[in-house]
Amino acid sequence: MSLDRVLDALASRLSGELEGTQVSDVAPATAADLPCVVLSLSDVEQALAGIGRIPRGTQTGSLAVTATVDLANPVLDLGSGERLGLLSADRKTLTLPHGAVVRADGTTDLPFAAGDISANDGAAFTLVTANPTGRQFTVDPVEGTLQFGSKLAATGNLRVGYNIGQWDTAVTRAQGTLAVDISAAGADQVRALARSVATSAALNSQGIRVKPSGWPPVTPATLADNTGARTQRLLFRVDAEVEDSVLTSSGGVIVQVDVTGSLTAAVPGAEPEALEPMTVTKER
């Protein structure tokens, strides 16, 4: 997990409460940048709290994803030397990398609308319900395929947008020090902003929790064109849980693994029993 996930979430929430004040991770350079609140993280430790059902369960509904297919090499690398072709021999049928798809509302009922699925190679293709021609296409949500009216180009990229109906969730926990640098044209404005930040409900919401750990004094800000600007750094201990979608289900690419071995009976002295060769199907 990148720490910008935590900073961007905090910046977005604080911006909604501090009207007229820029909140970001960019320090002010000139007086024109004031007033501003700058966020930074340090001494961060990250721990994986869970993936899939531990402790987050598999999610269902509608998750928007995008994929870019290299038309000159339309294959999916499965790792370990395995590759899956995404485009049919006549270059008219595309297999979506994540398989089965749903509409934006989570259903699979036809017809799909333009807001449910899209295809674009520099110009948008038009979704139709049947018998596509030219730059038209249809969707088979169960098979997870798109049928185009004419063959796709031999080069370039095809960008497709669609929704999957099932996915897992990884939860990463990050703990560290949050520094909030508040800068403004004068000391009084800095002091007022500092108190607004310190009492802001936005700091403790949606999986992010903070505790104050330091309140240094207001000091002169270092700006080339304004010697009267002032700044103050508030310090907090932050504990954040950030969720990331893991696209390993709902039509994840299917591979087969051959399994052989033997089964040892629980009865002492019994001979091992050979297992019949079998194929286990799993999602990648």
pLDDT at 26 (0 to 100): 94
Return the percentage of the chain with pLDDT > 90, whole number.
Answer: 49
Residue 89 shares a structural domain with residue 150:
yes
> How many separate domains does the chain show?
3
Residue 136 shares a structural domain with residue 112:
yes
pLDDT at 146 (0 to 100): 96
Residue 86 shares a structural domain with residue 222:
no
| pTM of the complete model | 0.54
Return the percentage of the chain with pLDDT > 70, whole number.
Answer: 81
Residue 199 shares a structural domain with residue 264:
no
Residue 156 shares a structural domain with residue 182:
no
Higher model confidence: residue 13 or residue 190?
190
Write a three-state SS string for the chain: CCCHHHHHHHHHHHHHHCCCCEEECCCCCCHHHCCEEEEEEEEEEEEEEEECCECCCCEEEEEEEEEEEECCCCEEEEECCEEEECECCCCCEEECCCCCCECCCCCCCCCCCCCCCEEECCCECEECCCCCCCCEEEEECCCCEEEECCCCCCCCEEEEEEEEEEEEEEEEEEEEEEEEEEEECCHHHHHHHHHHHHCCHHHCECCEEEEEEECCCCEECCCCCCCCCEEEEEEEEEEEEEEEEECCCCCCCEEEEEECCEECCCCCCCCCEECCCEEEEEEC
Task: Place 37 in a pLDDT band, splitting at 50, 70 and 90.
Answer: very high
Q: Is the pLDDT of residue 185 over 80?
A: yes
Q: Is the pLDDT of residue 54 over 90?
A: no
pLDDT at 57 (0 to 100): 62
Domain boundary residue among 149, 168, 187? 168
What is the domain extent for residue 276? 254-283
Residue 74 shares a structural domain with residue 162:
yes
Higher model confidence: residue 254 or residue 4?
4
pLDDT at 265 (0 to 100): 39
Query: pLDDT by residue (tens digit) across 87-146?
Result: 999 999 999 988 899 999 999 889 999 999 999 999 999 999 999 999 999 999 999 999
Residue 146 shares a structural domain with residue 66:
yes
Domain boundary residue among 140, 168, 196? 168
Residue 82 shares a structural domain with residue 222:
no
pLDDT at 201 (0 to 100): 82
Q: Is the pLDDT of residue 276 over 70?
A: no
Q: Is the pLDDT of residue 154 over 60?
A: yes
Q: Is the pLDDT of residue 28 over 80?
A: yes
pLDDT at 223 (0 to 100): 86
Residue 64 shares a structural domain with residue 136:
yes
CATH number of the domain that 200 lies in?
A: 3.30.70.1700
Residue 17 shares a structural domain with residue 68:
no
Closest alpha carbon to 158 in 89, 66, 70, 90:
70
Residue 237 shares a structural domain with residue 277:
no
Residue 264 shares a structural domain with residue 278:
yes
Task: Place 257 in a pLDDT band, splitting at 50, 70 and 90.
Answer: very low
What is the rounded average pLDDT of the residues 27-54?
Answer: 80
